Structure 1
Amino acid sequence: MKYPLTPDVKPEFCTTGTFMRLPSTGENVKLAILGMPFDTAASFRVGARFAPQAIRQASMTLFPFHPVNNVYPFDDTNAIDIGDVSVIPHNIHRSYELMEAAVLDLMNQGIVPIGLGGDHSVTLASLRAAAKVHGPVALIHFDSHTDTWDTYYDEKYWHGSPFIRAYEEGLLQPDKVFQIGIRGTLNHPGDIDASLDLGYNVITTQQLKERGINDVVKQVKEKIGDTPCFLSFDIDFVDPSCAPGTGTLEVGGFSSLETLEMIRCLQDFNYVGFDLVEVLPPYDPTQITSLLAATLVHDFASIVALKVKKQNEKAGVETKK
């Protein structure tokens, strides 16, 4: 079987409904896509519950080979798409339990999950699962917001609080948390200090532009090392001109090309999971946000494939040419 089916096997518009038409089960699986269509914790625009299927639909235009990393991301990992977690729209805590169980099941099998959100609240479920398997993990977090605000209308669980809740629950190693690309207006002068006070490393958009991604990656690598690491990507890290379909837009971000270049500098980490959140298809009429999201997932998968390829080469196992 080809992972995924290429256009010369079946036209792109003949879809199975999975990411790049991946199967739902397989053998020797190293990577799995799962949808986390929960958006009831959003504070402004809603609609991210429709993102997993929109991202899957956009993935139909992608091809199986990653020319930069020289891998077949889904073939080399025997990837699968297990579909969407059956979340409960009005109940965040029961939805957390369901999402955590799905991610935990994959991680216990040695499978790296890539979660398709959903609003950013869903990341807390994945971090809970990761901590159960690996202990407190490192975090690389791309976003225009820190998401360490404590409450919203006195509610502690919403898409602006996953990383303060993760801190309180001991899911992260604070000095190995990097929040990259933070920008935009604030409620108070001390908003970013909320993350710094937790021991997190905050790198604003301005600092990233001034320092350059290579210098930032060097710092991140020196600090994180081989610690099990989760990568969470909020699509509003990207400038709205390239990703308009999101919930809380912030101008002055990075282009899609700059974003891909950054992700491709972050290969040498011990990733145990990824997610991509806050895509809102109702505000993405030309599908450019969903396509960028699908491309980023393709890149995340290629990072996992590179690790598998290196392991296979070390073991003398031949990989696809």
Structure 2
Amino acid sequence: MEVLYFGGSKAQFRMMVCKKSFFLGTRKLSGMTLAGRLESRYSQTSQQVRTAAGSAWPGSLPRARSGSYWKNAFFEKFTPPRFFSEFNMPPSAEFVARPVGVCSLFKLPIRTSSEGLDAAFVGVPLDTGTSNRPGARFGPRHIRAESAMVRRFNPSTGADPYNSLMVADIGDVNVNLYDLKDSCRLIREAFRTIVVGGCIPLTMGGDHTITYPILQAIAEKHGPVGLVHVDAHTDTGDKALGEKIYHGTPFRRCVDEGLLDCKRVAQIGIRGSSYTRDPYQYCWDQGFRVVLAEDCWMKSLVPLMAEVRKQMGDRPVYISFDIDGIDPAYAPGTGTPEIAGLTPSQALEIIHGCQGLNIVGCDLVEVAPMYDLSGNTALLGANLLFEMLCVLPGVKTT
């Protein structure tokens, strides 16, 4: 078998040559030599390779719009349909076994920056801001592993994200586990770089602290944003143990700094015991819409989301989804579980209900995988991130 790797400029190729199970080394070939090498037996693939080497034919190889690209080319009999596309395509399990390859979200290509991307998945492995059970720092790693089960298309909504947007996994923010404030600085600077070029970040947490510096970067570009916030908790505390930054305070800090358009904030799934008689008074005073979990029990949330869409209008909106918004019967792998939460189907109704909004960023936080050995919490998180990708502006539906 011969596997062809393309990297760097269009004229540089490297061929890994194998015979049965024996690796015979690599050879560097020019575009024309490579095309000739494949001419006799693989004429269609050869033509596409030759065209890619000699001209910028659209759709020849998946690539970012920045100009650099890479792709694996297999024998024709192993080539899945629509392999040659102008967008990054996750491989099909019909042709590539799910455990094969470097672990990335949905098995997408891994990029070192967001340049040339319409949307980027990024991990923030931080849990220094947790108040109960730690472990969300491992959330991005496990969400990526479980995401291998998620496929390309969304039959329930008709969304075709990978034929609509250039998407890749751009790795993790290099946080400081020993200094939460410094981590917020690092996150803010990383997301400034992501959003400045128009790329929409879809973030894997990490605890909910990370949403505060992300929204600082988002608001620098878009101004105050609307917020669809799914959670068991409002995360609008002022401080704990003398600290004003932790996972219970991100949206209080966002209000303090004018990052949110408070009349366009909806918090859904809120529940649990409290230390005061009126735990939601601060949210109501700001103009937030607070939807308690008990008002969601045993009903469809489609009518609610029709109201939320009207509330958000056509201005920028951010989606922040804490996995503990889901009942712990479905998502036990989290640090602050609360009973009697939303169901996965209701979570899908909420995200589907965001279709058509001017979404400028999303996150999925608080997956702490060691409390769920089945991996189901991380699997649910991966699916919810896919659903968020499917409702981004520019995604075509069939």
Structure-1 residue corresponding to 2:90: 4
2:273 aligned to which of 178, 185, 205: 185
> Which stretch of the first structure deviates more once superposed, 87-96 or 292-301?
87-96
Compute the displacement of 1:45 (Å): 0.3
Which of 168, 172, 177 is matched with 1:80 structurally?
A: 168
Greater RCO, CA 8 A, separation 6+:
1
Equivalences for 1:229-244 in 2 at 5 Å? 229-244=317-332
Query: Residues 239-261 of structure 1: CA distance to partner in whole angstroms, max 9, x if unpaired?
Result: 10100000111110122222223
1:111 aligns to 2:111 (yes or no): no
Shift in CA distance, 261/223, structure 1 to aligned 2, threshold 3 Å: closer
Unmatched 5+ stretches in structure 2: 1-61, 63-87
- Deviation at 1:298? 0.7
Higher share of residues assigned helix: 1
Query: What percent identity do the matched residue pairs reach?
Result: 37
2:344 corresponds in structure 1 to 256
Deviations 1:164-192 (A, max 9, x none): 00000110011111111101111111111
1:212 Cα deviation (Å)? 4.6
Question: Which TM-score applies when normalising by structure 2?
Answer: 0.75
Distance between the aligned counterparts of 1:215 and 1:7, measured in 2? 37
Letter in 2 for 1:307: G
Equivalent position to 2:104, from 4, 18, 23: 18
Q: Give yes or no for the alignment of 1:247 onto 2:302.
A: no
* 1:203 aligns with one of 278, 291, 297: 291
CA contact (8 A) 1:29 1:111 kept: yes
Q: Is the 8 A contact 1:15 1:60 kept in 2?
A: no
How many correspondences in the alignment?
310
CA distance in 2, matches of 1:265, 1:221: 7
- Max radius of gyration: which structure? 2
CA, structure 1 residues 210+242, in 2 after alignment: closer, same or farther (shift >3 Å)? closer
Query: Are residues 211 and 243 of structure 1, via their aligned partners in 2, closer, same or farther at CA, if it must alter by over 3 Å?
Result: closer
Q: Residues 241-320 of structure 1 correspond to what in structure 2 (within 5 A)?
A: 241-304=329-392, 307-309=394-396
Please say if residues 142 and 179 of structure 1, whose CA atoms lie closer than 8 Å, have aligned partners that are also in contact. Answer: yes
Give the drift of 1:8: 2.7
2:47 corresponds to which residue?
A: none
Code of the aligned partner of 1:23: P
Q: Deviations over 1:60-113 (max 9, x none)?
A: 111111112223323421211110100000211211121112222121111110
Partner of 1:138: 226
Normalized per residue, the structure richer in strand is: 2
Rounded to whole Å, the distance in 2 between the matches of 1:20 and 1:221 is: 28
Structure 1 length normalisation: TM-score?
A: 0.92
Using the TM superposition, name which of 22-31 and 86-95 deviates more: 22-31
Question: Which is worse superposed, 214-223 or 24-33?
Answer: 24-33
CA contact (8 A) 1:18 1:56 kept: yes
Question: Which residue does 2:241 correspond to in 1?
Answer: 153
Deviations 1:222-279 (A, max 9, x none): 2210110000000001010100000111110122222223321221210000000000
Cα distance in 2 for partners of 1:268, 1:104 equals 25
| Distance of aligned partners of 1:63 and 1:76 in 2 relative to their CA distance in 1, 3 Å threshold | same
Q: Any conservation in 1 of the 2:125–2:175 contact (CA below 8 Å)? A: yes
| Superposition deviation, residue 309 in structure 1 | 2.6
Are 1:49 and 2:132 counterparts? no
| RMSD value, Cα | 1.7
| Pairwise CA distance, 1:27 | 7.5
